[in-house]
């Protein structure tokens, strides 16, 4: 193979790689502009403040208030993250620093299996176990009546789905902390827990924030499992034991049958655009927080 042929092949490969990188960068913009284009009809029909802050949802009358869906999405997402945070953080610490290597090798495929279970299976499990438990025991314990299909049920199912995703990331983050730092702290007289608390967690804090930031973004868009247990009732929930209706469930429940109604179709595209904007904002905030924390260390 002569020099000119090798140079031509290198140029073609370089051009192809650059095109792939450009495509990856362009994809979010293409998706965003496509959703904005499809949402233009509803944006011309109602003001942005009406769409975001109105609680009236009567599509056939031309009234599209997304506030109940936004509130439900936020509640379910943050409940799921709050329930998941201590489980993942302490499990990752135990598996990395207290458990044996055999336990970690055993748990890693278990975590991968949990991550690979289809979300509809989690939804069925939620209907069989979580929903009756909330309706019969948990809600009455706090003085509420509930069918069980509620914000709380959605949050619990979502938290279980997030565990393998966040736990895997946290284990890898803790593994990146150099053993010399750990040993140096122990040699100065610190206990194992003091070393983990003041050295490991401090050193890996930016990574921990990143893990939960990614989990938050993923949780906000979760659809099927949450849809099956959250109740899907339009209205602003006043407590955790009332049903809700998150944005992904709204899209999944209505999109297929409402394609023939242009305004409703545009409203659902606006819901998808809103979902994408929220996830992008979460990721930007998470990234900026990581950069700030890394600069402090």
Query: What tens digit of pLDDT does each residue of 28-43 get?
Result: 889 999 999 989 989 8
pLDDT at 195 over 60: yes
Nearest C-alpha neighbor of 58 from the set 259, 255, 276, 267 = 267
Rounded to two decimals, the pTM is 0.85
Query: What tens digit of pLDDT does each residue of 111-136 get?
Result: 888 888 888 999 999 999 999 999 99
pLDDT at 9 over 90: no
pLDDT at 51 over 70: yes
pLDDT at 297 over 90: no
pLDDT at 79 over 60: yes
Between 258 and 17, name the one with better pLDDT: 17
pLDDT at 232 over 80: yes
> What is d(CA 84, CA 254) in angstroms, rounded to the nearest whole number?
30
262-296 and 247-254 helices, crossing angle to 10°: 150
> What is d(CA 202, CA 185) in angstroms, rounded to the nearest whole number?
13
Q: Place 67 in a pLDDT band, splitting at 50, 70 and 90.
A: very high
Per-residue model confidence (pLDDT) at position 103: 87
> Is residue 180 exposed (0-12), middle (13-18) or buried (19+ Cβ within 10 Å)?
exposed
Q: Place 206 in a pLDDT band, splitting at 50, 70 and 90.
A: confident
Nearest C-alpha neighbor of 78 from the set 291, 288, 233, 282 = 282
- Which residues 6+ apart lie within 8 Å of 174 measured at CB? 92, 93, 96, 97, 200, 204
Query: What tens digit of pLDDT does each residue of 83-99 get?
Result: 999 999 999 999 988 88
Q: Place 176 in a pLDDT band, splitting at 50, 70 and 90.
A: confident
State mean pLDDT over 138-160: 91
Q: Place 259 in a pLDDT band, splitting at 50, 70 and 90.
A: low
Q: Place 220 in a pLDDT band, splitting at 50, 70 and 90.
A: confident
CB 200 within 8 A of CB 177: yes
pLDDT at 292 over 80: no
Per-residue model confidence (pLDDT) at position 134: 94
φ, ψ (nearest 5 deg) of residue 286? -60, -45
pLDDT at 296 over 70: no
Q: Place 242 in a pLDDT band, splitting at 50, 70 and 90.
A: very high
Per-residue model confidence (pLDDT) at position 121: 92
> What is d(CA 192, CA 203) in angstroms, rounded to the nearest whole number?
15
Q: Place 14 in a pLDDT band, splitting at 50, 70 and 90.
A: confident
State mean pLDDT over 275-280: 87
* Most confident range, picked from 123-137, 169-183, 283-297: 123-137
């Amino acid at each position: 193979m002569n020099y000119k042929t090798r140079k031509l092949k290198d140029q073609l490969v370089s051009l192809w790689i650059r095109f792939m990188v450009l495509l990856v960068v362009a994809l979010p913009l293409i998706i965003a502009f496509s959703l904005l284009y499809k949402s233009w009809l509803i944006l011309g029909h109602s003001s942005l403040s009406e769409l975001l802050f109105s609680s009236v949802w009567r599509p056939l009358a031309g009234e599209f208030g997304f506030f109940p869906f936004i509130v439900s999405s936020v509640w379910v997402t943050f409940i799921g993250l709050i329930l998941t945070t201590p489980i993942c953080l302490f499990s990752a610490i135990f598996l990395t620093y207290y458990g044996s290597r055999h336990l970690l090798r055993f748990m890693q495929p278990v975590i991968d299996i949990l991550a690979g279970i289809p979300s509809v299976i989690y939804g069925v499990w939620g209907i069989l176990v979580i929903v009756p438990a909330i309706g019969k025991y948990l809600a009455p314990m706090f003085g509420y009546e509930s069918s069980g299909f509620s914000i709380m049920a959605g949050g619990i199912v979502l938290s279980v789905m997030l565990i393998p995703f966040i736990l895997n990331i946290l284990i890898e983050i803790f593994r990146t902390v150099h053993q010399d730092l750990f040993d140096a702290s122990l040699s100065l007289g610190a206990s194992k827990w003091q070393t983990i608390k003041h050295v490991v967690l401090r050193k890996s804090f930016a990574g921990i924030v990143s893990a939960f930031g990614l989990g938050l973004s993923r949780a906000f868009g979760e659809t099927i499992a949450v849809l099956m247990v959250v109740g899907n009732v339009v209205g602003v929930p006043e407590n955790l034991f009332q049903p809700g209706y998150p944005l992904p469930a709204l899209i999944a429940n209505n999109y297929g049958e409402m394609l023939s109604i242009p305004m409703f179709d545009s409203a659902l595209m606006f819901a998808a655009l809103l979902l994408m904007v929220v996830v992008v904002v979460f990721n930007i905030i998470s990234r900026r927080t990581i950069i700030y924390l890394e600069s402090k260390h």
